[in-house]
Amino acid sequence: QVQLVQSGAEVKKPGASVKISCKASGYTFTTYYLHWMRQAPGQSLEWVGWINPANGGTKYSQKFQGRVTTTRDTSASTAYMELTSLRSEDTAVYYCARGPVTGAFDIWGQGTMVTVSS
């Protein structure tokens, strides 16, 4: 079946970086954009950015510009999101989700909890 499986929980110190993976299966990896969202504890969802797996093109929310990088490995059907200069406010569950640039997100990963704490 179509699914996105993310890497496990991370605990990081302020100022560190985190890299999360999102492995796609059940469909052709290059035919759908992958978006990244985050959800801080008790909060709503916030869009971080997307990657086009077909050509590696990316777009990021202005809020994260300069701190986030999304990449992909087409041979492994896996996308990655790296967030640098972590601060406590980055503590959240990070999700990848499949969707077109102009469309809703129909398949979501299970989420990766990132905790930033000294």
Partner 1 sequence: DIVMTQSPDSLAVSLGERATINCKSSQSVLCSSNNKNYLAWYQQKPGQPPKLLIYWASIRESGVPDRFSGSGSGTDFTLTISSLQAEDVALYYCQQYYCARPGYTFGQGTKLEI
Give CA–CA dist 34/66, Å, rounded.
19
Give CA–CA dist 68/85, Å, rounded.
9
Q: Decide if residue 38 touches partner 1 (CB under 8 A).
A: no
Give CA–CA dist 37/4, Å, rounded.
14
Q: Which of 7, 52, 58, 61 binds partner 1 (CB under 8 A)?
A: 61
In the complex, the smallest distance separating the C-beta of residue 102 from partner 1, rounded to whole angstroms, is: 5
Give CA–CA dist 72/58, Å, rounded.
10
Task: Decide whether 32 or 105 has the Cβ nearer to partner 1.
Answer: 105
Q: Which residues here bind partner 1, judged by CB under 8 A?
A: 35, 44-47, 59, 61, 95, 97, 99, 101-106, 108-111
